[in-house]
Amino acid sequence: MNRRNSSSVTDFILMGLTDSAEAKLVLSGLFLLIYLITVLGNAGMILIIHLDPQLHTPMYFFLTHLSFLDLSYSSVITPKTLQNLLTSTKSISFLGCFLQMNLFTVLGSTECFLLSSMAYDRYVAICNPLHYPVIMSTQLCCALVTGSYMFGFIDSTVNAVCMSRLHFCNSNVIQHFFCDTSPVLVLSCSDTYEVEITIFAFAGSTLVLSLITISGSYVSILFTILKINSTAGKRKAFSTCASHLLGVTIFYSTMIFTYLKPKMSYSLGRDQVASVFYTIVIPMLNPLIYSLRNKEVKHAALRVLQKKAGHRQLK
């Protein structure tokens, strides 16, 4: 790679979250527990939706991919973070660092557009319920999911091309627990202004476009709900999108706080807390939010368990 030839840095040192041995032990135990819940929750969600025919609907089709994305980008970050907390090895190769950064970018960007697709699905379900089966066809759902992955890949490619133009010849110490764009940019001995503007523009466009779609969908949903006469009808309509709205609020609030600002306003402690939340905690929360607040998922889980128990008794 040309990038290697123009840089004297061959690996990076991830400083992590703390130097305290006691704090590392506590954090490693906490992060391991969260990661196990994340894996079990998201993999369980995918399995339940796959096994229960009653959940083979557009909303749960999107939710399957959301669980896959959460499971994937948590796995890109958490295992390496646990290794750094539990061992004295803090280094990550030059290639490994950029691979982690760009995998996280493609997964995070894809999730933004997938959440937009889910918001559109809720809009159609509440505002056009009679035409829902026709509008949200299998072809459209597949096109929305494919488009989400394509836009995520484009965003990641732009990020990779921009970062490949930089030289790293001085410090290789990353003041963070994973290879994120902002702390890596700080280390470059090149002029990062154009790169920073380009990355900021694409990241901002991803967040803004997806937020416009989500906001537009929920404004229409709100007006539709307000027109419903019965309190029970309003409650039922709101319950169909409450889980998604909560997940969107948590995800976007941390992403905007972290990324929609210039490099000069980067704050180590503040950004690390936000990063822990959206890289480690949110992937665990999403399956809990969508399952605990959703009777269909609970009933589906019970049906799957009962079916498994019935098969065992027959054997």
Write down the domain spans for the chain: 2-314
Residue 114 has pLDDT above 90, yes or no: yes
Task: With residue 174 as reference, give the H or E element that holds it.
Answer: strand 173-174
Residue 1 has a pLDDT of 43
Tell me the C-alpha distance between 130 and 54, whole Å: 19
Total residues belonging to the chain: 315
Q: What is the mean pLDDT of the chain?
A: 85
Measure CA 26 to chain center. Answer: 25
Residue 4 has a pLDDT of 44
To the nearest 10 degrees (0 to 180), the angle between helices 282-292 and 58-86 is 150
Q: What is the mean pLDDT of residues 241-258?
A: 82
Residue 8 carries which side chain, given as an amino acid letter? S
Q: Is 13 helix (H, G, I), strand (E, B) or coil?
A: strand
- Exposure on the CB side of residue 304, measured as CA atoms within 13 A: 18
Bin 209: left if φ > 0, else alpha if -120 < ψ < 50, else beta.
alpha
Burial class from Cβ neighbours inside 10 Å (0-12, 13-18, 19+) for residue 251 reads buried
Picking from 61, 69, 64, the residue whose alpha carbon sits closest to that of residue 103 is: 69
pLDDT one-digit tens code per residue, 101-112: 999 999 999 999
pLDDT one-digit tens code per residue, 28-47: 999 999 999 999 999 988 98
Q: Which CATH number fits the domain 2-314, given the four candidates 1.10.3230.20, 3.30.420.40, 1.20.1070.10, 1.10.357.10? A: 1.20.1070.10
Place of tokens 């990779």: 160
Structure-block tokens of residue 76 = 């890109």
Whether the Cβ atoms of residue 130 and residue 89 lie closer than 8 Å to each other: no
Tell me the C-alpha distance between 263 and 162, whole Å: 15
